Amino acid sequence: MIDTLVLLRKQLHENPELSGKEHETANSIVEFVKDFNPTQIIEGIGGTGVGVVYHFAESGPTVVIRCELDALPIVEENTFNYRSKNSGVSHKCGHDGHMTIVAGLAPWLKEATFKRGKVVLLFQPAEETGKGAANVIEDSRFKN
Ligand SMILES: [Zn+2]
């Protein structure tokens, strides 16, 4: 699993997208988590956000674990083979790593034996502009 997560982190690092335009990043997350049987995947929350929901058998508290989809308008000067392919955009804020940490909970949740409640992995758009969180909170699907 660690190798799979390293590959995901490099894929996200190589394909950074600016705030509110994180379409490919959101798709990469959806494709990754699909294999770990979430109860529900909600796309387009607050714009390009993704909610990955695990429901356990009985109703109970909901825990949301959040990370960010967007990258920054900064040229990447690194030379490693997974450097940014999008000129002038790069993951200098570490969101590639943060997304990978949160996505890495999906295989753990697939095997989890919790009896009640829900866990939501929230991939929030547009953190760098400060707009994404407000858009997510205003989205009726997030309220639900
Ligand atoms: Zn940030």
User: Domains in the chain, ordered, with CATH?
Assistant: 2-143 (3.40.630.10)
- pLDDT tens for each residue of 79-117: 999 999 999 999 999 999 999 999 999 999 999 999 999
- pLDDT tens for each residue of 16-46: 999 999 999 999 999 999 999 999 999 999 9
Q: How many Cα atoms occupy the beta-carbon half-sphere of 126 within 13 Å?
A: 17
Contact 49, 123 (CB under 8 A): yes
Return the biggest CA–CA distance within the chain: 50
Cα(21) to ligand 1 centroid in Å equals 15
Cα(113) to ligand 1 centroid in Å equals 33
Residue 144: pLDDT band with limits 50, 70, 90: confident
Cα(12) to ligand 1 centroid in Å equals 14
Instruction: Quote the pLDDT of residue 132.
Output: 97
Instruction: Quote the pLDDT of residue 143.
Output: 86
Cα(144) to ligand 1 centroid in Å equals 26
Q: How far apart are CA 31 and CA 25, in angstroms?
A: 10
Question: Residue 118 forms beta bridges with which residues?
Answer: 55, 62
Cα(53) to ligand 1 centroid in Å equals 23
Stretch 119-135: mean pLDDT, rounded? 97
